[in-house]
Amino acid sequence: MFKKLLIANRGEIACRVIRTCREMGIGTVAVYSEADSRSLHVRLADEAVLIGPPAVSESYIAVDRVVGAARESGAEAVHPGYGFLSENRLFAEALERAGIAFVGPSASAIESMGDKIRSKAIAAQAGVSTIPGHVGRIEGSDHAVEIAGQIGYPLMIKASSGGGGKGMRVAFREDELLPGLQSARNEARSAFGDDSILLEKFIQKPRHIEIQVLADSFGNCIYLNERECSIQRRNQKVIEEAPSPFLDAETRSAMGRQAVELARAVDYCSAGTVEFIVDGDKNFYFLEMNTRLQVEHPVTELITGIDLVEQMIRVAAGEKLAISQEDVCRKGWAIESRIYAEDPFRGFLPSTGRLTRYRPPVEHHDSETAVRNDTGVFEGGEISIHYDPMIAKLCSWGKDRDSAMETMRRALDEFELEGIECNLPFLSTVMDHRRFVDGDITTAFIEEEFPQGFNAVEPCELDARRLACAAAHMHLRLETRRAAIAQSPNEDEPDIRRDWVVGISGQAGREYRLTCEPGTGSSSFRFDDGETVDLVTDWVPGDVLGRFEFNDEPMLLKVGRLSGGVRIRNRGMDVRALVQSPRQAELGEIVATNVVEDLVGQLKCPMPGMVISVDVSGGDTVSVGQPLCTIEAMKMENVLKAERAATVSRILVSPGDSLAVNDVIVEFD
């Protein structure tokens, strides 16, 4: 077995590999860019080597620098994680020349499966069901139009190399083909250094289901059941689960056998994943093979009890698989929620900055439930513009799907994350969504259920009243403490107001008048219509997470102080509760409302990022939906479009410029 292993990656996957290496008694070496000098994976590793500046092209995907770090540190093996160099044939070959083991498949397998055009042809020859499309390279715009006409719309534009949702677009009409083609090429070139594109039929309302395979150098190959990854946004997976709520035993077995046959066809040796698109009739089609560890591998580990990183290392060290197909079990259900640094209320725009609070739920694993959190960040750490926006992978396990979902709901409720925006509210909303609960999902789920983007969940009347009681209780505790601090020793106990008007923000803008009878850890509230709510809580001033019981029904609330009230978040709800005396509420009704600044004449940058292109010039007349500018943020391209017809008066940026939020890009007459 290896004595020292280098991890050619960063973030949570580097930390994940380090954890298994420690359990196996293997020393670890981290590599890091200048932007990652204080990162968690650097802290956790036994050694760390600086490999370059923040740009991935000069650090994490610079083959010579990573191989040089392996030589310098004396590492006997390199685990690439996922992304970056994990599916780079030249990297695997360079390590082989240096006499360093690559914890992954052979360079030839990477080359065969890494090119989606070639892999599709190999899959067809191996008897694997494939999607109709053009097996060959697209030579140019005219060729693309011709091929698209032959395949028919809608069609998928997809980077030949790489994965992770990058370099993928869907064209539903001919006028969407060339812009999508150019954008996919730009994104693929930036992420993978290869802008080759293929076109294939887009199967509408499909499910994305993948099979995990594991093979050694002795000809043994098995599959470890499936994962469903249908909850996606912009082809980027958001929630995954294992097993799939859709497959039956017959379909699962057929997909598993085909995945193994494909792996055997390229002499695969390591962990890998064969991805399929499955339609509503359970017909499945080969999508691609990822010759690496998948982001969502923890859910497979939770239902099988198999450490995939350990198996990859053992296979790379020349060991034979100790697991046969008959040994593979499927125990319980697991769900993974990807927590991203993005603002779900602003179109999921990337969010960067410092994590002022980072308290994930406590990890545990017993016979009934489990919570696992794979992460690469820490409280006080910085979320950088340079890399993927994923903060953590929160996983739950239960005896069945209902148990796994409820465990995930509680874990999301308990996750404290402040300083940047994140998608926790969105994840909680999906976990409660009727279609997700029923397992009635497709890759179009987010587009169909949130066509206008994501907004905070509107509290029902019951929840709104509960939140009003919680706000009044917290306000009362703060007022009591403030009065006690200001009280002189000889003064009588201060008289604290007991009647309040609580305004709850939201579409309805509800307002409640209530009276409180306080206790030490409880309060009783009576509304002006006679309803009574008994509240019990462990919350004390300063807590940002409180457990509340309303008439014996529990809620876990995230709270933050605001001027005159409190911000309360729970299960996708995000409300501002303003607590006032009756007189304050009366006067507030006649106070003038602030006038919102008119920004019609400007296009401002909605996220930190770099200008890739400016698509208009001064004097141009633009129409609704016309592309104005393309911004790259966290390795994804974002096209900013005109919201109304206007004339461009001035361009204030150029390609290559780095922008902050609200920097002005274009001014209009």
Q: Tell me which residues are annotated as active site.
A: 288
C-beta separation of 339 from 424 below 8 A: yes
**Strand 532-537 relative to strand 522-527: parallel, antiparallel, unpaired?**
antiparallel
Q: Is the dihedral of CA 435, 437, 440, 443 positive or negative?
A: positive
Q: What is the DSSP letter of 477?
A: H
How is residue 295 written in tokens?
Answer: 């982001």
Strand order in the sheet with 77-79: 47-52, 27-33, 4-7, 77-79, 101-102
Classify residue 607 as left (phi > 0), alpha (psi -120 to 50) or beta: beta
Q: How many CB atoms lie within 10 A of CB 335?
A: 25
The owner of tokens 């926790």 is 424
Give the list of residues 6+ apart from residue 366 with CB closer than 8 angstroms, or none: none
Q: What is the DSSP letter of 193?
A: S
Strand order in the sheet with 236-242: 284-290, 270-278, 207-215, 221-233, 236-242, 333-340, 390-398, 369-375, 364-365
Half-sphere exposure of 286 (CA within 13 A, CB side): 30
How is residue 570 written in tokens?
Answer: 């729970």
Strand partners, 333: 398
Backbone angles phi, psi at 15, to 5 degrees: -65, -40
What are the residue ranges of helices labelled H in 515-616? 582-588
**Strand 27-33 relative to strand 4-7: parallel, antiparallel, unpaired?**
parallel
Closest CA to 559 of 540, 535, 581, 586: 540
C-beta separation of 267 from 110 below 8 A: no
CA angle 287, 298, 337 (to 5 degrees): 80
Largest CA distance in the chain: 91
Give the list of residues 6+ apart from residue 141 with CB closer than 8 angstroms, or none: 178, 181
Give the list of residues 6+ apart from residue 277 with CB closer than 8 angstroms, or none: 131, 203, 206, 207, 208, 209, 284, 285, 287
Taking the C-alpha atoms of residue 495 and residue 3, their distance in angstroms, rounded to an integer, is 70
The owner of tokens 């239960």 is 398
Taking the C-alpha atoms of residue 553 and residue 559, their distance in angstroms, rounded to an integer, is 18
Provide the 3-class DSSP secondary structure of residue 351.
coil
